[in-house]
């Protein structure tokens, strides 16, 4: 297991990017829950963000790919608008132990 960060290191209704060697991931916190995905758009396989740690749309309601504007649900990564409609972000499994996020 890899320690990512403490849950309090991510603000509610915001996102945070992480680079772990070759792997680029991001976490989103919503309603006190954390969701983690690989930073790879299912459309062209590129990273979703242009600005560091900014993976959400302007309302902080959906995950946003800056390349062609695809939108994804925070809760399950499903694409709900854009060129990869029907596909999903790849979720990363983790365990929360004493507030610390450990990747599986």
- Residues forming contacts to ligand FES in the complex (CB under 6 A) are 41, 43-44, 46, 65, 67-68, 70, 82-84
Which is nearer to ligand FES, 55 or 94 (by Cβ)? Answer: 55
CB atoms < 10 A from the CB of 13, how many?
A: 14
Q: How far is the CB of 26 from ligand FES (least distance, A)?
A: 14
The β-bridge partners of 72 are 63, 79
Taking alpha carbons only, the member of 43, 56, 45 closest to residue 17 is 56
Q: Round to whole Å and give the CA distance between 55 and 62.
A: 9
Q: Round to whole Å and give the CA distance between 77 and 97.
A: 23
Q: How far is the CB of 27 from ligand FES (least distance, A)?
A: 19
Which is nearer to ligand FES, 16 or 43 (by Cβ)? Answer: 43
Q: How far is the CB of 85 from ligand FES (least distance, A)?
A: 10
């Amino acid at each position: 297991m890899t320690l990512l960060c403490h849950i309090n290191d991510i603000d509610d209704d915001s996102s945070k990017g992480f680079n772990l060697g070759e792997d680029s991931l991001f976490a989103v916190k919503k309603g006190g829950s954390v969701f983690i995905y690989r930073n790879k758009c299912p459309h062209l396989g590129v990273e979703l963000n242009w600005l560091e740690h900014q993976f959400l749309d302007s309302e902080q309601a959906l995950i946003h790919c800056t390349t062609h504007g695809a939108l994804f649900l925070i809760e399950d990564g499903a694409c709900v608008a854009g060129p990869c409609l029907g596909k999903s972000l790849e979720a990363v499994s983790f365990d929360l132990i004493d507030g610390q996020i450990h990747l599986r």
